[in-house]
Structure 1
Amino acid sequence: MGNICSRSSNKPEGFTGPGRVVGAPASSQSPAPRASMPTNQNWQSSPGRTLGESSPQPGGSDEARSNAAIAAQKRAEAASAANKGKLSSKLAEQRAKTQTQTLNEASQTERAVRNADEAETARQWN
């Protein structure tokens, strides 16, 4: 197939011209034009900062993040205190008990069940 879409006015490819020997001086052609440097160079006035370094300003992002976390914690505590109902108060009581107290309570309940069963069997033997 040939280059049917190509025009003769297109620039030739980079390797079609004559080459030069390694180490030879550059050709007389000037390099591609470059944009001029901006006159206002504020980016050079600050030293910048290293990655992972905290912000040098007093209202830096680390301080803002910790303030937001504290505020969220306070909101969560206020919401949990306001929504206490019957079930949550019972749960708080259970959490406050020690293991010994819980075992004693279970033991007393079990004794009461056994005493009730013994009383029922005694009534049936009339």
Structure 2
Amino acid sequence: MYMGMRGESDIPAVAVVPSARQIEYQRMELLGFLHFTVNTFTDREWGYGDESPGIFDPSALDAGQWASVAAAVGMKELILTAKHHDGFALWPSHHTEHSVRNSPWKDGGGVRRMGEGRIQPEGTRGRE
């Protein structure tokens, strides 16, 4: 490839056109990421995987309230981080002891149990 001093090239530009899904995603404009893990209960910013799964017991959790607040500020989607750098899995994993399976919350079923029903504020649609 040869480029002249003005940055010109004899190679034609490729016309990149976004797909319909990519356009829809861009129109969503505002998404929320939820990082909800054992660190919520340790009062530490960073976890290292040495936390006891037994401390994870969000019995007063109201995920519908999260969805309502997100909708009120214009968020079109919430994405739950199911496993972050601390290694705590929000599903009842059998590949690690550091998971919701070993917490008292919903008898170790946790987020999986919540996910069996859709949590959405009125007037929104779930992502397919």
- TM-score class normalised by the smaller sequence: under 0.3
Structure with larger RCO (C-alpha < 8 A, sep 6+): 2
Structure-1-length-normalised TM-score: 0.23
Query: Per residue, is there more helix in 1 or in 2?
Result: 1
Query: Per residue, is there more strand in 1 or in 2?
Result: 2
